[in-house]
């Protein structure tokens, strides 16, 4: 996918949210900056921030930098890449993006926009570059029809496999869990749409309670220090066999 096709140099949006792989998107942004005539090195009005977790301190620093006087009469650009944004940081960012400053533009890269608050996502021009979660969707389909014990074993295997993958970033286990959670939720929504309910005879919560639980699991997965294993195992217990 050519990211530049989604960016209009004559009509830049205040804030872009780009879902996809940092190593693919950052070079495209740098190329776009060159087309704009904006230097990406030795330019005090170009900020490139790359972190694993974007914390509230990062959000506060960003707010301060945004309000600093520009060193030139041109544009001030912020390029930010993070695997996840902590909840407190997202709440601070909400205030930044609801009050745009002229000639100040943000390009934020994240692997999965579903980890962000919907109110925050709504502040951005959203660009999705990643492919669909085909593997995760297939795994979710199998997971749904498994007995509970097999589900627990599946989750254990999935998390161990992610921890042993040296190619992925440090927080890959949490990201893998989030991707699977998104695929599982997608499958369940699809079945509700076609069947009208997910209720069965096992006594598990249905529809509203189930999706509320999934929302909570996603929320806690975004918090450092939370037990990924316990959160994912709760899904094994609550998701009905449908």
For 116-129, what is each residue's pLDDT tens digit?
Answer: 888 999 999 998 87
55 contact partners, CB below 8 Å, separation of at least 6: 86, 88, 89
More confident call, 221 vs 167: 221
pLDDT in tens, 138-149: 899 999 999 999
Contact 108, 80 (CB under 8 A): yes
More confident call, 231 vs 165: 231
Contact 178, 114 (CB under 8 A): yes
Determine the average pLDDT of the residues in 77-100.
90
Q: Which two tokens stand for residue 137?
A: 């969707």
**Cα 59–Cα 227–Cα 94 angle in degrees, nearest 5:** 20
Determine the average pLDDT of the residues in 194-214.
59
Residue spans of beta strands (DSSP E) within 69-115: 76-85, 104-110
Residue 130 — pLDDT band, cuts 50, 70, 90? low
The answer to whether residue 229 scores a pLDDT higher than 60 is: yes
The answer to whether residue 93 scores a pLDDT higher than 50 is: yes
DSSP secondary structure letters along 139-183: HHHHHHHS-HHHHHHHHHHHHHHHHT-TTS-TTHHHHHHHHHHHH
When computed from its CA atoms, the radius of gyration of the chain, rounded to whole angstroms, is 20
CB atoms within 10 A of CB 195: 10
More confident call, 171 vs 38: 38
Model pTM score: 0.59
pLDDT in tens, 148-184: 999 999 999 988 865 554 444 446 788 788 888 878 8
Q: What does the pLDDT read at residue 107? A: 96
3-state secondary structure (DSSP) of residue 95: helix
Whose tokens are 């199998």? That residue is: 142
| Segment of 3-12, 18-27, 172-181, 228-237 carrying the highest mean pLDDT | 228-237
> How far is 183 from 143, CA to CA, in rounded Å?
11
81 contact partners, CB below 8 Å, separation of at least 6: 22, 25, 26, 49, 50, 51, 108, 109, 110
Distances in Å between the Cα of 232 and the Cα atoms of 182, 189, 194 are: 12, 18, 26
């Amino acid at each position: 996918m050519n990211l530049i096709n989604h960016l209009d140099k004559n009509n830049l949006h205040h804030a872009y949210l780009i879902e996809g792989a940092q190593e693919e998107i950052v070079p495209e942004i740098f190329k776009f900056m060159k087309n704009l005539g904006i230097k990406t090195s030795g330019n005090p009005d170009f900020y490139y921030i790359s972190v694993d977790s974007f914390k509230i301190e990062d959000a506060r620093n960003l707010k301060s930098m945004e309000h600093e006087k520009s060193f030139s009469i041109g544009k001030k650009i912020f390029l930010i890449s993070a695997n996840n944004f902590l909840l407190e940081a997202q709440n601070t960012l909400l205030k930044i993006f609801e009050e745009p400053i002229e000639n100040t533009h943000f390009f934020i890269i994240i692997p999965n926009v579903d980890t962000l608050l919907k109110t925050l996502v709504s502040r951005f021009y959203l660009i999705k570059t990643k492919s669909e979660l085909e593997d995760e969707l297939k795994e979710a389909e199998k997971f749904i029809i498994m007995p509970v014990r097999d589900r627990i074993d599946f989750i254990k295997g999935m998390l161990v496999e992610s921890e042993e993958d040296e190619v992925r970033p440090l927080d890959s286990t949490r990201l893998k869990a989030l991707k699977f959670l998104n695929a599982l939720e997608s499958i369940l929504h699809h079945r509700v749409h076609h069947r009208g309910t997910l209720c069965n005879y096992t006594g598990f919560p249905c529809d509203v309670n189930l999706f509320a639980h999934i929302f909570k699991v996603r929320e806690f997965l975004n918090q450092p220090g939370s037990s990924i294993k316990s959160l994912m195992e709760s899904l094994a217990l609550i998701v009905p066999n449908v």
